[in-house]
Chains A and B, each alone.
Chain A
Amino acid sequence: MAAVAESKGRGSTIIMVLYLLFLMLPIYWLLNMSLKTNNEILGAFSLWPKNPTLANYRTILTDPSWYMGYVNSLTYVVMNTAISITVALPAAYAFSRYRFLGDKHLFFWLLTNRMAPAAVFALPFFQLYSSIGLFDTHIAVALAHCLFNVPLAVWILEGFMSGVPREIDETAYIDGYSFPRFFVRIFMPLIASGIGVAAFFCFMFSWVELLLSRTLTSVDAKPIAATMTRTVSASGLDWGVLAAAGMLTIIPGALVIWFVRNYIAKGFALGRV
């Protein structure tokens, strides 16, 4: 252990500091702008706000047409995460435990949906959800995002489930557990971290996606990201409010990262490290 620690000397620290600086600078600039008034942003160029003000944040948090964007985004993201995990759990169990007719083809077909360009689906989705009267509802966006989140959840969960020895299932069945009772009482606690990681990734990809969520909504379910683009073009150059809105979209992500920080890497490898 000591050998490893030694081999990472001062050079590594400098490299990491530089890399993190590169990552943080643009975000810092956004924060900097969000604390300034428009006059200060467009007037003198300064590296930090001379008169820090929270007025931009106040604008957003007191105006329903702004803060409802956050409510809408969070609503469909949570709905999508719940749907994705619920349907993905039994499917992942099937893939990890049994062989069945066409299993490999099915698994591949699921994967292709994760790889489908959202741009291909934007217009057909619009027509599909309009025709069944779901246009501009949260559930429409939640269902649309299932296109790439369900396959992802199945993949991650399958990876974690395959790490649980099959003897546990067999012992439970011998002990007289029925399948649903075994699954909920014994199996789910065993893969709790996997469920957490899968939920995190569903949350993440639904939260960052804009093309589909913008196409499928107009007023009632408009996501915050779309609210931002519209307001910018309409009111010209309200840079301060734009920056504050951007900062507020970063916060939910930062919060959830903290909870899964030890599993992030494993999750990105689709549970297969």
Chain B
Amino acid sequence: MDKPVNNRAWFLVLPVLLLVAFSAVLPLMTVVNYSVQDTFGGNQFFWAGLDWFEEVLESDRIRAALGRQILFSAIILAIEIPLGIFVALNMPKRGIWASFCLVLMALPLLIPWNVVGTIWQVFGRVDIGLLGHTLKQLGINYNYVNDAVDAWITVIVMDVWHWTSLVALLCYAGLQSIPDAYYQAARIDQASRWKVFRYIELPKMQGVLLIAVLLRFMDSFMIYTEPFVVTGGGPGNATTFLSIDLVKMAVGQFDLGPAAAFSLIYFLVILLISFVFYTVMTKEAK
């Protein structure tokens, strides 16, 4: 199906273009400005070239944050994708029970992110939280405020709680598109459960799974609010991910130059990933 060429379609796109230009290009230019200039205050700027970029790329602190960020995203993907597929395979296909599951599963996705943080901050507290208190009763020494490993576990369990449903819902949508005839054919051939999964369900889920992997990767790469509320980036810097570090630098210390350079590098990394996402998805559509 070839679409007709019509350059007047630009008029239809114009409102979006103006709006997004206003809310994306203008601010981004400010960031570019800051990234190549230095200031002694009083609105006096002078050219700093690529100094800030060098400083950022050589900074141990940012390298450490990047390392933590990559580790975090990797763990998130390793847990949420298989778990999401597993849940989707066990979801009821239709009927009131299916609607019930869908609504309950979507619920964590609609809770404001800092409330998600608050819920888990309370839930994990040793004195008043169900999780923390139960673990203490069981004799497990758990304290996410002082122990880096416990803080990591809390943040990861929180993210699994928050976002696994997204993966499951996507896979569920993919599974719904498989005609029942496929399953009947597999039954006649006496295919094992694993083979049904490997040769019928997995190929049909490929497209949505790709969206799930990339969405989860990008969103976990940008995570800010939830760990910030739970741990504040601590103990020490143990859960200071890239966005937390960036906000600390820009708003807390007002180091505009390095923060801007950091922003641009951060944004370029995401841009690269988006490009892969886009290329693969448009290929999928053909």
Contacts and interface: CB of A to CB of B under 8 A. Distances in A.
Contact of A272 (B12, B22, B207): B207
Interface stretch (A49-57, A60-68, A188-196, A254-262): A254-262
Contact of A8 (B9, B93, B161, B208): B93
Given A119-B243, A273-B208, A4 B183 contact: yes
B81 to A, nearest CB: 14
A249 B122 contact: no
17 contacts: A1-B180, A8-B90, A16-B87, A19-B87, A29-B130, A47-B130, A87-B15, A90-B15, A97-B4, A98-B9, A110-B20, A115-B273, A119-B263, A225-B115, A253-B109, A257-B107, A273-B208
Contacts of B107: 23, 27, 250, 253-254, 257
A26 B123 contact: yes
B112 A265 contact: no
A124 B9 contact: no
Interface stretch (B37-45, B47-55, B145-153, B164-172): B164-172
Nearest to A165: B1
Contacts of A208: 109-113
B173 to A, nearest CB: 3
A72 interface: no
Contacts of B133: 45
Contact of A243 (B31, B122, B176, B229): B122
A125 B111 CA distance: 24
A71 B174 CA distance: 38
Contacts of A164: none
Given A8-B92, A119-B246, A246 B183 contact: no
Nearest to B193: A7
Interface residues of A, number: 102
Contact of B110 (A86, A121, A211, A257): A257
B43 to A, nearest CB: 12
Given A225-B112, A253-B109, 15 more contacts: A12-B92, A23-B161, A23-B165, A45-B128, A90-B12, A104-B282, A108-B275, A120-B267, A128-B30, A147-B23, A147-B24, A166-B1, A210-B113, A268-B166, A268-B170
B224 interface: yes
A151 B130 CA distance: 40
Given A12-B90, A150-B20, A250-B115, A124 B31 contact: yes
A123 B20 contact: no
A202 interface: no
A3 interface: yes
Contacts of A24: 104
B17 interface: yes
A249 B115 contact: yes
A258 B7 CA distance: 41
Interface residues of B, number: 103
Contact of B22 (A99, A107, A143, A265): A143
Given A124-B30, A146-B19, A264 B13 contact: no
Contacts of A107: 278
A35 to B, nearest CB: 14
A78 interface: no
A91 B119 contact: no
Interface of B: 1, 3-10, 12-13, 15-17, 19-20, 22-24, 26-28, 30-31, 86-87, 89-93, 99, 101-115, 118-120, 122-123, 127-131, 133, 161, 165-166, 169-170, 172-174, 176-177, 180, 183-184, 187, 193, 207-208, 211, 218, 221-222, 224-225, 229, 242-243, 246-247, 250-251, 256, 259, 263, 266-267, 270-271, 273-275, 277-278, 281-282, 285
Contacts of A74: none
**Centre residue among A93, A98, A256 by max chain B CB count within 10 A:** A98
B183 A3 contact: yes
Contacts of B172: 265
B20 A246 contact: no
Contact of B31 (A4, A25, A120): A120
Given A3-B180, A29-B122, A87-B15, A229 B161 contact: no
A117 B267 contact: yes
Interface in A1-21: 1, 3-5, 7-8, 11-12, 15-16, 19-20
A220 B28 CA distance: 27
Contact of B12 (A5, A86, A93, A265): A93
Contacts of B4: 97-99
